Amino acid sequence: MLYKHMKNLKLSVVIPAYNEEDNIKSGVLQQVYDYLKKQKYSWEVLIVDDQSTDATIKAAKKAIRNTNGFRILEEPHRGKGGTVIAGMLAAKGQIVLFTDMDQATPLSEIEKFFPKFEKENSDVVIGVRSGRSGAPLSRKVMAWGFSFLRNVILRLPHKDTQCGFKAFTRDASEQIFSRLSEHYHTSQIKGAAVTAGFDIETLFVARKLGLKISESTVVWKHQESRRVSPLKDAWRGLLDLLRIRINDLQGKYNV
């Protein structure tokens, strides 16, 4: 069921995009549409472009030209964090999911999340990758190291904070991302930016707000990213963890 009554949308899917021309041409948006058009609930898809320097916008418009329920937001370049926030705050669904363009976790995994919202009254549901099959050893070591530092500095108990498949109730999304928008909407970014701290800060703020966060194991297939620079991203991730801790000590996340 395509979106006809915006106020009654069940699901919004937010897909950030920065230089995703190749992924789009491979058919990922068609995969998203093929899944959603079979569903009985109402939905929308927001493709949020982070001022791509390739033909992402052109490719996206071509891919969705014969579909309903898709829209494209063209944003200034702020990195993944600012791009996701813009999409989340523009979304209209009762449940709002952000997911990666490469569909490393297929959209169909959202079916595992619905019971968490409907039966367990969760405010936030995050995907947990099982074993990270296919990822190179270097990426697994990076993930372990980041997880260790995250637990030491912020005491976040979640198994997998970095999986790019997270969903929120509309109310939770507004509470969390409105608090994060100032920093990410004013940040200066050059080139591709993974911004590892964004996912951490999202969950940290959710906990500060007392929201119920649930986890669900999801299918995940490693997709090699041009944006990953081990040393640069590890250093930036550490700085993000420290920034979040300092912000918390200064009371910036207080309810």
Percentages (nearest 5) of helix, strand, coil residues in the chain:
45, 15, 40
The answer to the question of residue 110 being in a domain is: yes
The answer to the question of residue 211 being in a domain is: yes
Q: Which amino acid appears at position 124 of this protein?
A: V
| pLDDT for position 5 | 45
The answer to the question of residue 74 being in a domain is: yes
The answer to the question of residue 37 being in a domain is: yes
Q: Count the domains in the chain.
A: 1
Strand order in the sheet with 70-74: 70-74, 43-49, 11-17, 95-99, 165-169, 124-129, 213-218
Rounded Cα–Cα distance for residues 146 and 213 (Å): 20
| pLDDT for position 3 | 46
Hey, what are 193's tokens? 């930016």
Q: Going residue by residue through the chain (255 aa), what tens digit of pLDDT does each one get? A: 554 445 689 999 999 999 999 999 999 999 999 999 999 999 999 999 999 999 999 999 999 998 999 999 999 999 899 999 999 999 999 999 999 999 999 999 999 999 999 999 999 999 998 765 555 666 666 666 777 788 888 888 888 998 999 999 999 999 999 999 877 766 656 655 556 689 999 999 999 999 999 999 999 886 655 555 666 777 788 888 999 999 999 988 876
The secondary structure of 169-236 as a DSSP string is: EHHHHHHHHHHHHHHHHH----S----THHHHHHHHHHHHTT--EEEEEE-------TT--HHHHHHH
* Strand, coil or helix: 155: coil
Instruction: Give the residue numbers spanning the domain of 53.
Output: 6-249
Task: Write down the pTM of the prediction.
Answer: 0.87
CATH code of 235's domain = 3.90.550.10
Q: Is the dihedral angle over the CA atoms 73, 79, 80, 86 positive or is it negative?
A: negative
The answer to the question of residue 255 being in a domain is: no
The answer to the question of residue 237 being in a domain is: yes
The answer to the question of residue 200 being in a domain is: yes
The answer to the question of residue 1 being in a domain is: no
